[in-house]
């Protein structure tokens, strides 16, 4: 998502295009964060819980308006697959003769706009550029049929311990088990038996950690801020005949109860930039969600400075595993020492 001044400039690009507003309120999928209050009314929909809440718009993985819309705008997202997914969803919502627009930053790949439109059989032209990005649009002259969600968008790939995992567009590690996640799972034996324990999987992505822990006998709560990640986790569970609680949450905002074990391969990106804020907030909040003696165990690239914030929250941090690329860190919600 665009931020600060660049974001504002992109919002202005959209606002100035009369053709997008003339027919009535357009639909805007994943609106730029600065859009609310700055542009005329639009029907918004967001796939990130935090963005939906900030803008007071519906949250979900797939959106079908009650009736076709005069125009639809899509904000470019990181990764061609997710952008194609959003553009298809928006194209299917546009009334015949209506306009489909794609706005976004150069660093997120807006230059591939013509190709993204072409895959839907649409010919796009650049309406405007500025703010390190551009706005492209095409007239939707004949109906575009989007594949049914989720069946038409998912693929299945092999995970650890015989698990089958669901890949959806733009969900982390879709199509291939992430090396760091594999390392984290490989260390779990030393965290004690999973059987009968309450586990929280923070940033569940396609649900690989969740499915692994449920298969080991744990009762698992999986959380993610991205609706498509939650959909992928539910499909992964269904594919393997497993059950867990799958919750939308921004950080631990919507998590209640306390856990024996919190597991995560925490996010360190926001769009195209490195952002350690989510992970740091998660470390600070994790202790409140652990039972006495409960453990936080995370995997991260070695270059990420996570020891210090974990130590600050828990008082101590232990390296469970490290190699040239990754580290697995653990902290325990220590039982206070008994007074003599
Ligand atoms: C590195 S991926 C890990 C995915 C999965 N656990 C795995 O190991 O393959 C991090 C996940 O954190 C999610 N995430 C990012 N920001 C978040 C936030 N504020 N709250 C909850 N989850 C978030 C992302 O959507 C992504 O699915």
Kindly list the domain boundaries of the chain, sorted by start residue. Answer: 4-140, 155-332
* 52-74 as b/e: b if 16+ CB within 10 A: beebebebebbbeeeeebbbbbb
Q: Is there a contact between 292 and 333 (Cβ–Cβ < 8 Å)?
A: yes
**Which atom of ligand 1 lies closest to the CA of 201?**
6
What is the structure's pLDDT at 2?
38
The helix/strand count (H/E) of the chain reads as 10, 17
Phi, psi of 49 (to 5 degrees): -60, -45
Neighbours of 41 (CB within 10 A): 9
For ligand 1, residues with CB inside 6 Å are 172-173, 178, 181, 203-206, 208-209, 223-226, 229, 249-251, 265, 267, 278
Instruction: Find, among 260, 216, 211, the residue nearest to 240 by Cα.
Output: 211
Phi, psi of 327 (to 5 degrees): -135, 145
By most ligand atoms within 8 Å of CB, the mutation choice from 220, 224, 253, 280 for ligand 1 is 224
**Residue 220 CA to chain centroid, in angstroms?**
19
**Range of weakest confidence among 1-5, 15-19, 73-77, 188-192:** 1-5
Strands 245-248 and 259-264, bridge-based pairing: unpaired
Q: How close is the Cα of 121 to the center of ligand 1, in Å?
A: 33
**CATH fold for the domain made of 155-332:** Rossmann fold (3.40.50)
Neighbours of 244 (CB within 10 A): 22
**Range of weakest confidence among 39-43, 84-88, 325-329:** 39-43
DSSP 8-class letter at 49: H
DSSP 8-class letter at 336: P
Is the pTM higher than 0.85? The answer reads yes
- pLDDT tens sequence across 185-234: 999 999 999 999 999 999 999 999 999 999 999 999 999 999 999 999 99
Do the domains at 4-140 and 155-332 have one common CATH topology?
A: yes
By most ligand atoms within 8 Å of CB, the mutation choice from 46, 172, 188, 285 for ligand 1 is 172
Q: Coil, strand, or helix at residue 184? A: helix
**pLDDT interval class at 67 (50, 70, 90):** very high
**Residue 9 CA to chain centroid, in angstroms?**
24
**Which atom of ligand 1 lies closest to the CA of 184?**
8
Q: Is there a contact between 17 and 101 (Cβ–Cβ < 8 Å)?
A: yes
- pLDDT tens sequence across 8-28: 889 999 999 999 999 999 999
Kindly report the average pLDDT of the chain as a whole number.
Answer: 93
Q: How close is the Cα of 62 to the center of ligand 1, in Å?
A: 19
Q: E strand or H helix at 329, and its extent?
A: strand 326-332
In this predicted structure, the answer to whether residue 292 has a pLDDT above a threshold of 90 is: yes
Q: How close is the Cα of 252 to the center of ligand 1, in Å?
A: 12
- The CATH number assigned to the domain with range 4-140 reads 3.40.50.150
**Residue 139 CA to chain centroid, in angstroms?**
30
What is the structure's pLDDT at 1?
39
């Amino acid at each position: 998502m665009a931020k600060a001044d660049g974001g504002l400039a992109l919002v202005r690009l959209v606002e100035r295009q009369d053709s997008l507003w003339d027919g009535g309120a357009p639909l805007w999928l994943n609106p730029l964060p600065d859009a609310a209050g700055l542009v005329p009314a639009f029907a918004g929909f967001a796939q990130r819980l935090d963005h939906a809440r900030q803008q007071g718009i519906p949250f979900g993985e797939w959106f079908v308006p009650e009736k076709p819309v005069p125009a639809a705008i899509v904000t470019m997202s990181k990764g061609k697959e997710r952008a194609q997914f959003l553009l298809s969803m928006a194209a299917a919502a546009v009334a015949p003769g209506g306009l489909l627009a794609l706005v976004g930053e150069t660093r997120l790949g807006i230059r591939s706009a013509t190709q993204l439109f072409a895959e839907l059989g649409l010919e796009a032209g650049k309406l405007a550029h500025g703010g390190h990005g551009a706005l492209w649009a095409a007239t939707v002259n004949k109906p575009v049929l989007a594949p049914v969600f989720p069946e038409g968008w998912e693929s299945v790939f092999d995970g650890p311990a015989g698990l089958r995992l669901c890949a959806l567009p733009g969900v982390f590690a879709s199509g291939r088990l992430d090396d760091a996640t594999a390392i984290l799972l490989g260390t779990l034996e030393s965290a004690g038996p999973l059987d009968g324990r309450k586990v929280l999987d923070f940033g569940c992505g396609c649900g690989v950690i969740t499915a692994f822990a449920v298969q080991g006998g744990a009762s698992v709560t999986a959380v993610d801020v991205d609706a498509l990640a939650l959909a992928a986790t539910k499909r992964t569970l269904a594919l393997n005949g497993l059950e867990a609680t799958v919750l939308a949450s921004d950080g631990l905002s919507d998590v209640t109860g306390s856990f024996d074990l919190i597991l995560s391969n925490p996010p360190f990106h926001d769009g195209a930039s490195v952002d350690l804020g989510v992970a740091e907030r998660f470390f600070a909040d994790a202790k409140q969600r652990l039972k006495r003696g409960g453990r936080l165990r995370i995997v991260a690239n070695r270059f990420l400075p996570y020891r210090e914030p974990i130590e600050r929250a828990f008082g101590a941090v232990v390296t469970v595993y490290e190699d040239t690329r990754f580290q697995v860190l653990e902290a325990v919600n220590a039982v206070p020492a008994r007074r003599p």
